Amino acid sequence: MTAASLQPTVRPEDARLHFDKFGVALHFVAIPMRSAEDTEAEQLRSPFASFEEDLFSYAYAAGRGESAPFVSQIVHTPSAPETVWLILPRPIEYESEGRAIRLCSDSPIPQDGRRRQLAIRASRTDFQSGVSVFHLVFVRATAQGSDPDAGTLNEYDLIMLSKLWQGGEGWNAAEKVRFAWDGTPEASVRELARAVFDLPLVPPDEPQALRLHPPVPVGTIQLITSELSPVLALLRDRKPIEPRLEEAKGLGGILQGLLDFKEIDPQELTDVFAMPKIDGSSFLGMHKGTLLCVMESDRAHETVASTIGVSPYLLLPQALLLHNEAMLKCAETWSQMAPDNDNPSKLEPCINGMLDSLSSYLPNVFHYPHERWLFLKGETSRGLRTRQKELNEKRENLYVRWQQKVARRASFADDFRTSLLVWLALLPIYPEVKDNFWLKVVAFGSLFLIAAGTLLLPRRSLILKAIGGVIHRKSEARKTAEPTVRGEASPS
C-alpha cells in the first residue's frame, strides 16, 4: 500500500515568516535565435553592464563583447504581462517519510486557491557558446484592491514556488502552481515563460525551444528582511537554536524546498545550516538547485529592484553554473550518440561535438570572494566538476577508439601496397620459373604464405617491406649480371 492510498494526516499551515521585499528568480536554458543588431541595441541600455565589468576577474575584464564570457540584458516583450497572480492550491497533499500529509490553512482561502500578486522582471544572459539563460524574477507588486498584503509571501509560498525546480515529496508543482494575468485562463510556468520571453511554441528538439525538462532547472531566492536576524545571530555564534526554533525551521524549509519542515528537529537543523555562509546578519546558502540569500539590506538589490529584481551578484553566478551544466548535458548527449562499431565517420562528429561542448565549459571568471565561493560551492554540490572529468575520460576513450580504427585501416592500406610491391618484385623471376612446374609452385606458394602472413603476423608491414626489399635488391643484382643479349656468350 502506497502513502498516497493511506488516510492523510492533517496538519495546520502555521506560517511564522512573512516577506514583503523579495526576489524569486526562475532560470531557464535555451538556444535562441538572435540578431546582432538586437544584441548590440540592448547592450547599450543594459543595467547589467557595470555589474559585469565589476564582477569579472582581470583575465576577463578587458571589456564587454567578444572578450567577455557572457553578456546580460533586460528582456522587453510588449505583449508580456507586467504583473501576474500566483495561484497556490489549498489544501495540498504531499508525502513525507512514507506518510500522506494534508496541509490546511486556518485562514479562509478562496476555493480556487491562495492568490498572491507579483510583478515580473525579465532578463537574459547570453554566452559565447550560443546558449542563453533566461531569468524570470517575481517581486512584490504594488498593492491593488482591498488586500494590502496580497503581494506578501510566507515560507509556505516560497517553498511551493521552489518546488518548481526542487521537486520532491510527491507534489507536482509544475501542474499545481498556476499563474493568471490580464483575464487569461490559468497557465503553467512553462506557458508564462514563453509569454514573457516571446519564444514561439515549437517542438522540444528545435533550437528556440525552452529546455523545460524539468520545467525550471534552478532558482534563486533573495529575501531582504530583519525578521530572521535573531536566528542568524544564534547560528553565527553557534548558540542553541531552540529560542528561535520555529523561525529556524522555516528558514531551513525554504533552503531545502521542504514542505514538511515542521518535522525537522534541532539536530537536523545543525546539519542543514552547517554548509551555508553566515556572516553578520546575512545568510548565503546553496542546496541542490536553490541559491538562497537573506540580508537585512542590500544596496545592489535596491539598485536593480525595478529592473532586474534580484542582485546580479547572485543572478550571474547561478547563470554561469547553469550554462556549464547545459554544456555537460550536451557533451553527454554526444557521447550517447557514439556508435558501438567504431565507424570512424560516425565517431568523428561525436568526438568533435564532445570537444566543443567541454571546451565551452567556463572556469571561475569572477573576481570577488563572494561570487567565487558561490561558483565553487555550486560546482561541488551539483557534481559539475566530477561530471566534467568523467566526460573528458569518455571523450579520450572515444578518441583512442577512433585512432585505432583509422590506424587499422591505414595499416591495411600499407599491407596492400606492400603486397603489390612483392608481386612486382617477383615478376622479373617469372621467366626463369615459367618452364619449371615445381619452381612455380615454390615461388607462388611462398607468395601466398607472405600474403597470408599480412593478416596473421604482428608488425606485418615491416616484415613484408623487408622481404620485398631483399627480393627487389636480388632482382636488380641479377639484371646487372645478365648479358646484354640473352643466349650470347659474354666477351672475354
Q: Do 89 and 113 touch, CB atoms closer than 8 A?
A: yes
Phi, psi of 322 (to 5 degrees): -70, -40
Quote the mean pLDDT of the chain: 81
Instruction: Please write the tens of the pLDDT for every residue from 435-451.
Output: 666 666 666 666 666 66
pTM of the predicted structure, to 2 decimals: 0.80
Three cell numbers written together for 484: 646484354
Note the pLDDT of residue 438.
64
Residues contacting 281, CB < 8 A, separation 6+: 226, 229, 232, 233, 295, 296
Percent of the chain whose predicted confidence (pLDDT) is above 70:
72
Give phi and psi for 115, each to the nearest 5.
Answer: -115, 130
Q: If you compute the radius of gyration of the chain from its CA atoms, what whole number of angstroms results?
A: 35
The per-residue pLDDT for range 372-431, each reduced to its tens digit, is 999 999 999 999 999 999 999 999 998 888 888 777 766 656 666 666 666 666 666 656
pLDDT at position 363 is 94
Per-domain boundaries in the chain: 9-308, 404-481
pLDDT for position 411: 60
Res. 14: pLDDT tops 50 = yes
Rounded Cα gap, residues 87 and 221, in angstroms: 19
Query: Which residue has better confidence, 343 or 445?
Result: 343
Residues near 42 by beta carbon (within 8 Å), at least 6 away in sequence: 73, 74
Residue 4 has pLDDT above 70, yes or no: no
Q: Give the 3-state DSSP-derived string for the chain, with helices as H, strands as E and coil as C.
A: CCHHHCCCEEEEECCCCEECCEEEEEEEEECCCCCHHHHHHHHHCCCCHHHHHHHECHHHCCCCCCCCCEEEEECCCCCCCCEEEEEECCCEEEEECCEEEEEEECCCCCCCCEEEEEEEEEEEEEECCCCEEEEEEEEECCCCCCCCCCCCEEHHHHHHHHHHHHCCCCCCHHHHCEEECCCCCCECHHHHHHHHHCCCCCCCCCCCCCECCCCCCEEEEEEECCCCHHHHHHHHCCCCCHHHHHHHHHHHHHHHCCCCHHHCCHHHHHHHCCCCEEECCEEEEEECCEEEEEECCCHHHHHHCCCCCCCHHHHHHHHHHHHHHHHHHHHHHHHHCCCCCCCHHHHHHHHHHHHHHHHCCCCCCECCHHHHHHHHHHHHHCCHHHHHHHHHHHHHHHHHHHHHHHHHHHHHHHHHHHHHHHHHHHHHHHHHHCCCHHHHHHHHHHHHHHHHHHHHCCCHHHHHHHHHHHHHHHHHHHHHHCCCCCCCCCCC
pLDDT digits (tens, 9 = 90+) for 133-154: 999 999 999 866 656 678 899 9
Mean pLDDT, range 123-140, rounded to an integer? 92
State the distance between the two ends of the chain, measured CA to CA, in whole angstroms.
Answer: 113
pLDDT of residue 484: 45
Rounded distance, CA 428 to CA 436, Å? 15
Residue with cell 525579465: 122
Backbone angles phi, psi at 364, to 5 degrees: -75, 95
Residue 85: strand pairing partners: 117, 180
pLDDT at position 492 over 60: no
Mean predicted confidence (pLDDT) in 85-108: 86
pLDDT of residue 469: 60
- Distance (Å, rounded) from C-alpha 221 to C-alpha 315? 10
Q: Name the β-bridge partners of 99.
A: 96
Q: Please tell me the predicted confidence (pLDDT) of residue 450.
A: 63
Compute φ and ψ for 29, nearest 5 degrees.
-115, 135
| Band of pLDDT at residue 8, cut at 50, 70 and 90 | confident
Segment 351-370, tens digit of pLDDT: 899 999 999 999 999 999 99
**Which comes out higher in pLDDT, residue 338 or 296?**
296
Q: How many CB atoms lie within 10 A of CB 447?
A: 16
The three cell numbers of residue 156 are 509556505
pLDDT, tens digit, for every residue of 24-77?
A: 999 988 876 554 445 444 445 588 988 998 999 888 875 554 568 899 999 988
Note the pLDDT of residue 314.
97
Residue 170 in this model has a pLDDT that exceeds 80: yes
Name which of 203, 2, 218, 209 is nearest 93 in CA terms.
2
pLDDT for residue 341? 78
Q: What is the pLDDT of residues 262-314, one digit of tens each?
A: 998 888 898 899 889 998 789 999 998 999 999 999 999 999 999 999 999 99
φ/ψ (deg, to 5) at 434: -65, -25
Q: What is the pLDDT of residue 204?
A: 43
Q: What per-residue confidence (pLDDT) applies to 212? A: 43
